[in-house]
């Protein structure tokens, strides 16, 4: 598994289909073969980062998920 954002491999599983990149501190959730990336803000809310990426970069398989 690698992070689509930083290409880091320091990814931990935090839920059934949720992962966390300890390198760039973003949350990754796996849905229908696709990754969704979110940044966790200081107040605990999530901001999506998906619009920063091309659809192909978020394919789960392409990132080893």
**Quick one: 7 or 31, whose CB is closer to Zn ion?**
7
The sheet with strand 34-40 has its strands ordered as 11-15, 18-21, 26-31, 34-40, 46-48
Helices (H), the chain: none
From 1-9, 12-20, 34-42, 53-61, give the range in contact with Zn ion by CB under 5 A: 1-9
62 near Zn ion, judged by CB under 5 A: no
Comparing C-alpha atoms, which of 54, 49, 51, 7 is closest to residue 29?
Answer: 49
| String marking each residue 22-41 x if it binds Zn ion according to CB under 5 A | -xx-----------------
> In this structure, what are the phi and psi dihedrals at residue 52, rounded to the nearest 5 degrees?
-85, -5
- Name the residue with the smallest CB distance to Zn ion: 3
Task: Write out the residues near Zn ion by the rule CB under 5 A.
Answer: 3, 5-6, 8, 21, 23-24
């Amino acid at each position: 598994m690698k992070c689509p954002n930083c290409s880091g491999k320091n990814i931990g599983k935090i839920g059934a289909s949720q992962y966390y990149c300890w390198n760039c501190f973003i949350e990754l959730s796996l849905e229908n073969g696709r990754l969704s990336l979110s940044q966790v803000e200081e107040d605990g809310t999530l901001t999506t980062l998906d619009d920063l990426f091309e659809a192909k970069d978020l394919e789960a398989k392409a990132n080893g998920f």
